[in-house]
Amino acid sequence: MSDAEVILHADADLLAAATAARIVTRLTEAQAARGSASIVLTGGGIGTAVLAALARTPARDAVDWRRVDVWWGDERFLPTGDAERNETGARAALLDHIDLDPGRVHPMPAPDGPDGDDPAAGALRYAAELRARAEAGGTVPSFDVCLLGVGPDAHVASLFPGLPAMKERERTVVAVHDAPKPPPTRISLTLPAIAAAREVWALASGESKAEAVGLALGGAGEVPAAAVRGRERTLFLVDRAAARDLPGTARP
Ligand SMILES: O=C(O)[C@H](O)[C@@H](O)[C@H](O)[C@H](O)COP(=O)(O)O
């Protein structure tokens, strides 16, 4: 597992634009090396702002989007098309503006899907979809990049401090109930699934994330954002406001 590296940005807009450019580089390098690429999207403010920035940059067309697999790190368990679904936000910000192969876009199940209002069944279905596209013997694909927005309580995806999903070490996808961030019912990748990613990029912007980023990088807190690592690289892409509490050793 890779050590966390902090990359500081002056403000949220620059963080979003620079991360969008970093995604272009990452996906084009993956396609040059392996013929295709895979990315795990996150919801929330900075995660969606990154996608919007990516949609705006001409460099986006350097990526052959037909050869990109799009996954989600978590999803609010709401009906398809609900404005609060991470998928809905991602489609509006980016996915509807690029030429993706629909068969390679993998939204997490919704209560109006084949399993009905059963997030646990939806989690099993998504785990099976991941396994079907994993490398031989694996349970999830080796995602080229897994984006994770960091919450003010240092949650990532829908792995919240103190909730059972944070402790899951076997399953790759689980249902989440009673999430402190509405809506309460979600589906989420677990830490083992996130750890399959070649690179994990934790995104944090604003003062409200400073304590979480400090905990995640300060080595003290047993918080979800402290536990995420990529196989090859782990980046904390933050703006100055979110970096306020970084211990001296970690502050660039
Ligand atoms: O479903 C969600 O809400 C997200 O997947 C969640 O993990 C988000 O990334 C963080 O809560 C940060 O969100 P903000 O950037 O809006 O603070």
- Ligand 1 in contact with 44 (CB < 6 A)? yes
**Pairing state of beta strands 233-239 and 4-9?**
parallel
- Ligand 1 in contact with 38 (CB < 6 A)? no
pLDDT in tens, 147-194: 999 999 999 999 999 999 999 999 999 999 999 999 999 999 999 999
- Ligand 1 in contact with 151 (CB < 6 A)? yes
Please identify every stretch of the chain with a pLDDT value under 70, giving residue numbers as ranges.
220-221, 247-252
Measured from the Cα of 48, ligand 1's closest atom is: 15
Rounded CA-CA distance 122/77 in Å is: 9
Which domains are assigned to the chain? Answer: 9-220 (3.40.50.1360)
pTM as predicted: 0.97
ipTM of the complex, rounded to two decimals: 0.98
- Ligand 1 in contact with 42 (CB < 6 A)? yes
